[in-house]
Amino acid sequence: MARIVVLGAGFAGLWAALGAARKRDEIGAPAADVQMLVVDPNTYHNSRVRNYDVDINDAAIPLVELLDPAGVDHRVAEVREIDPVKQHVSVTTNGGSEVIGYDRLVLALGSQLVRPAIPGLMSNGFDVDTYAAAVRLDRHLAGLGEQAVSEGLATVVIVGAGFTGIEVATEMPGKLEKAGLSGNRRIILVDPNPVVGETIGEQARPIVSEALAALGVETRLNVTVTSVDASSVTLSNAGAPFFLSLQARPSSSLGNRPPTFRLVVMVSHMFAKTEMISSNPQKKWNVLSNPFWGLLLRLNIHACQGATVEMHGVPFSSH
């Protein structure tokens, strides 16, 4: 029996496996003669393009539903090594290590989030690159929704105003509402570029801006995040750094279980009262930041008079 092994059950892996199965049917080859096997650590296909949806239930589709009807097998395993000479892949499963031989191999292991070397981002940020990360974000929002209403509870800052950041921002009102966080919500999109959607083209940009404005999404442009930790964040802007000195304890869950980042845009997950003081002495911000895509910081603007901006948050509760 010949075996075609497909590594990865993302869009590319699924397409390859189902395409091969269709071809097998077309040429009338018995399934017993040509085995198709998809290898992925998850029991589901993650439709990553849905990871920021208000309802992410459809973002994970059981592989059994997709592959079994086509006569494609799948193995829940992580690929560790490929030996093209011996024509086998080494994988780890819950039960230990395995070696899977192949006659043809399709490599569709996808992409991983680039993690900028921003100090503290790994241990204080969230993202929606994977279904698991999206679930974590939604759970976090749901937890916030159970808290007593407080200033800044429903304020989110998304850092990264590219495709994903824009989409996260436009879905965020629905997400907040679903979590019971619609009151006094603020969504702030931050990007180092001077415009939102730097790469999406001049024709699309006004439409995007219009949509963001209609949803009440604010923007802060020409801003970069230079560091994040459990108690502080530093932003810089054209050489004028903003220092955020957080004054509350970090999330214990984040501290113990650093999230993984797998996308270009990241989310900062911080639940601490923050004081941000810019190099401009007129600006003093108290910030309650939160985790999300691109880098979502929950900010609570306590007062804004002229050049003086204050953002107050509440101490982060444990969840």
Ligand X SMILES: Cc1cc2nc3c(=O)[nH]c(=O)nc-3n(C[C@H](O)[C@H](O)[C@H](O)COP(=O)(O)OP(=O)(O)OC[C@H]3O[C@@H](n4cnc5c(N)ncnc54)[C@H](O)[C@@H]3O)c2cc1C
Residues that bind ligand X (CB under 6 A): 7-13, 39-42, 46, 48-49, 51-52, 78-79, 108-111, 128-129, 164, 263
Residue number with CB closer to ligand X (109 or 221): 109
Residue number with CB closer to ligand X (133 or 223): 133
Rounded to a whole number of angstroms, the minimum distance from the CB of residue 248 to ligand X is 30
Residue number with CB closer to ligand X (82 or 195): 82
- What is the number of residues in the chain? 319
Residue number with CB closer to ligand X (90 or 237): 90
Rounded to a whole number of angstroms, the minimum distance from the CB of residue 133 to ligand X is 9
Residue number with CB closer to ligand X (35 or 42): 42
Pairing outcome for strands 88-93 and 96-101:
antiparallel
Rounded to a whole number of angstroms, the minimum distance from the CB of residue 294 to ligand X is 10
Residue number with CB closer to ligand X (48 or 298): 48
Residue number with CB closer to ligand X (204 or 304): 204
Rounded to a whole number of angstroms, the minimum distance from the CB of residue 159 to ligand X is 15
Rounded to a whole number of angstroms, the minimum distance from the CB of residue 207 to ligand X is 16
Residue number with CB closer to ligand X (75 or 319): 75
Rounded to a whole number of angstroms, the minimum distance from the CB of residue 127 to ligand X is 8
Rounded to a whole number of angstroms, the minimum distance from the CB of residue 142 to ligand X is 19
Q: How far is Cα 171 from Cα 234, in angstroms, rounded to an integer?
A: 26
Give the CA dihedral 77, 46, 136, 160, nearest 10 degrees.
120
Residue number with CB closer to ligand X (78 or 310): 78
Rounded to a whole number of angstroms, the minimum distance from the CB of residue 17 to ligand X is 11
Rounded to a whole number of angstroms, the minimum distance from the CB of residue 158 to ligand X is 12
DSSP the chain: -EEEEEE--SHHHHHHHHHHHHHHHHTT--TTTEEEEEEESSSEEE-GGGTTSSS-GGGEEEHHHHHGGGT-EEEE-EEEEEETTTTEEEEEETTEEEEEE-SEEEE-----------TTHHHHEE--SSHHHHHHHHHHHHHHHTSPP-TTTTEEEEE--SHHHHHHHHHHHHHHHHTT--TT-EEEEEESSSSSSTTS-TTHHHHHHHHHHHTTEEEEES-EEEEE-SSEEEEEETTEEEEEEE-SPPPHHHHHSPPP--SSS-EE---SEEEEEESSTT-EEEEE----TTTB----EEEEETTEEEE---PPPP-
Name 37's Cβ contacts closer than 8 Å, sequence gap at least 6. Answer: 3, 4, 5, 6, 72, 73, 74, 75, 100, 102
